[in-house]
Structure 1
Amino acid sequence: MNHRIFKIDNEPCIVHYPFRPNGFAVLILGDVNHYVDEQSSFWLQQETRRSIISELMDKGYIVFYSNLYGANWASEKAVSLTQRLYHYVKRREIINEKVHVLAEGMGGLLIEKLLPVMGHQMRSVVLLSPCVSLYEHFSQEKEQKFFYKKLKKEITLAYGVEEAHCEEMINKKIISGDRLKAAETPIYTIQSINTSRYKNQFPLIKDIYIERNDKDLPGEIYIILPEKRYKTSLKVVSYYAQHEEL
Structure 2
Amino acid sequence: MNQRLFQLDQEWCMIHYPERPNGFAVMILGDHHHYVDHKTSFWDQHEARKKWIRDLTAKGYIVYYSNLYGANWGSEQAVELAGRLYEYVKRREIINSKIHILAEGMGALVFKGLYPRLENEIRGVVMFTPCLSIYELIRHEREQKFFYKKLVNELTGSRGMKEEDYEQLLSQSRYDYEVFKDSPIPLYIVQSYNVNRYKNQFSLIKDIYKHRLEKGLSTDLFYVVPEKRDSLGMKLASYFSLHEKVL
**More divergent stretch after superposition (170-179 vs 230-239):** 170-179
Q: Which amino acid aligns with 1:54?
A: R
**More divergent stretch after superposition (175-184 vs 135-144):** 175-184
Which residue of the partner structure matches residue 208 of structure 1? 208
Which residue of the partner structure matches residue 79 of structure 1? 79
Q: CA–CA distance in 1 between the matches of 2:171 and 2:187?
A: 26
Which residue of the partner structure matches residue 179 of structure 1? 179
Deviation string for 1:136-157 (max 9, x for gaps)?
0011000000100110010011
Look up the SS of the partner of 1:200 in the other structure: helix
Which residue of the partner structure matches residue 156 of structure 2? 156
Q: CA–CA distance in 1 between the matches of 2:143 and 2:73?
A: 19
Conserved in 2, the CA contact under 8 Å of 1:100 and 1:125?
Answer: yes
Which residue of the partner structure matches residue 15 of structure 1? 15
Say how many residue pairs are matched.
246
Conserved in 2, the CA contact under 8 Å of 1:176 and 1:204?
Answer: no
Which residue of the partner structure matches residue 191 of structure 2? 191
Structure 1 runs of 4+ aligned residues shifted over 4 Å read none
Look up the SS of the partner of 2:199 in the other structure: coil
Conserved in 2, the CA contact under 8 Å of 1:134 and 1:176?
Answer: no
Gaps of 5+ in 1: none
TM-aligned CA deviation for residue 237 of structure 1: 0.9
Look up the SS of the partner of 2:73 in the other structure: coil
1:21-170 superposed matches below 5 A: 21-170=21-170
Q: TM-score, normalized by length of structure 2?
A: 0.97
Gaps of 5+ in 2: none
Conserved in 1, the CA contact under 8 Å of 2:49 and 2:230?
Answer: no
Conserved in 2, the CA contact under 8 Å of 1:115 and 1:183?
Answer: no
Q: CA–CA distance in 1 between the matches of 2:36 and 2:24?
A: 22
Q: CA–CA distance in 1 between the matches of 2:16 and 2:227?
A: 28
Which residue of the partner structure matches residue 224 of structure 1? 224
Q: CA RMSD in A?
A: 0.9
Q: Percentage identity across aligned positions?
A: 52
Q: CA–CA distance in 2 between the matches of 1:136 and 1:29?
A: 20
Q: CA–CA distance in 1 between the matches of 2:82 and 2:17?
A: 19
Q: Which amino acid aligns with 2:188?
A: Y
TM-aligned CA deviation for residue 169 of structure 1: 1.8
Q: Which amino acid aligns with 2:33?
A: N
Conserved in 2, the CA contact under 8 Å of 1:115 and 1:179?
Answer: no
TM-aligned CA deviation for residue 219 of structure 1: 1.1
TM-aligned CA deviation for residue 104 of structure 1: 0.2
